[in-house]
């Protein structure tokens, strides 16, 4: 086990003062029911959350809380932790009692939990700054890819109207002209007390989006 721990330290480029912390991070409760990684994984989960939340606020200074929340969830979930665990080949280092049914495969949750436990161990042994660098280095690609579909204009306008006026925007069909194969549909939208904003398109849905977008821009709604 000592050799495995040395190998993992090289892989993560961190030399532990207390190697027992790293060993604990890799110890599943099936292997040791008392001295295992459950509590240290609990800590690592919180450290990961803090680092990712802090980074998202730095990157997306003008983004709304709802979008940040979606980005955050995609970066700290078990799926992403499993991806990082596989990057580090954590399966090679886990201390676990394998059942006769499952000799070859370790459950995904065990690996993702161990990933968070390693973060907890690094935090306890080296402090927040080292743990933060470890996370940001390994999560860099995932942070770069964490593009959540932008909220469409209608949804954004609806959220704004409900928040400010406690009412939904009012859409009206103004006209439906042009040939059947190439219609031109015109709609209007207004908020409580605002003027009408118009949008045109081949479909009612797209015309409403166009009108909502115009309304957002004219009223400077971010």
pLDDT digits (tens, 9 = 90+) for 150-174: 568 998 899 899 999 999 999 999 9
This model's pTM is above 0.85: no
Q: What is the CA radius of gyration of the chain?
A: 26
pLDDT band at 98 (very low <50, low <70, confident <90, very high): low
- Active-site residue 32, yes or no? no
Q: What is the pLDDT of residue 150?
A: 59
Burial of 76 (0-12, 13-18, 19+ CB in 10 A): buried
Averaging pLDDT over each range in 4-18, 83-97, 121-135, 174-188, which range is the top one? 121-135
* Catalytic pick among 116, 125, 132, 208: 116
Q: Which domains does the chain have, with CATH numbers?
A: 2-145 (1.10.1520.10), 153-218 (3.30.160.20)
Structure tokens at 73: 């969830």
- Active-site residue 141, yes or no? no
* Catalytic pick among 41, 45, 125, 208: 45
The answer to whether residues 116 and 81 touch, using CB atoms and an 8 Å cutoff, is yes
């Amino acid at each position: 086990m000592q050799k495995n721990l040395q190998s993992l330290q090289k892989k993560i480029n961190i030399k532990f003062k207390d190697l027992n912390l790293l060993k604990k991070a890799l110890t599943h409760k099936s292997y040791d029911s008392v001295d295992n990684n459950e509590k240290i994984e609990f800590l690592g989960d919180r450290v990961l959350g803090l680092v990712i939340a802090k980074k998202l606020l730095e990157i997306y200074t003008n983004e709304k809380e709802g979008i940040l929340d979606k980005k955050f969830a995609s970066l700290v979930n078990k799926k992403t932790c499993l991806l990082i665990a596989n990057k580090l080949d954590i399966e090679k280092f886990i201390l676990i009692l394998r059942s006769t049914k499952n000799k070859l495969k370790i459950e995904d949750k065990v690996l993702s939990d161990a990933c968070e436990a390693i973060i907890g161990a690094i935090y306890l042994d080296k402090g927040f700054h080292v743990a933060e660098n470890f996370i940001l280095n390994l999560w860099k690609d995932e942070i770069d890819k964490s593009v959540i579909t932008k909220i469409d204009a209608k949804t954004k306008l609806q959220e704004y109207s409900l928040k400010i006026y406690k009412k939904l925007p009012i859409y009206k069909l103004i006209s439906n002209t042009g040939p059947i194969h190439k219609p031109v549909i015109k709609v209007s939208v207004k908020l409580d007390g605002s003027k009408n904003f118009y949008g045109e398109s081949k479909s009612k849905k797209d015309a409403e989006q166009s009108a909502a977008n115009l309304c957002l821009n004219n009223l400077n709604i971010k």
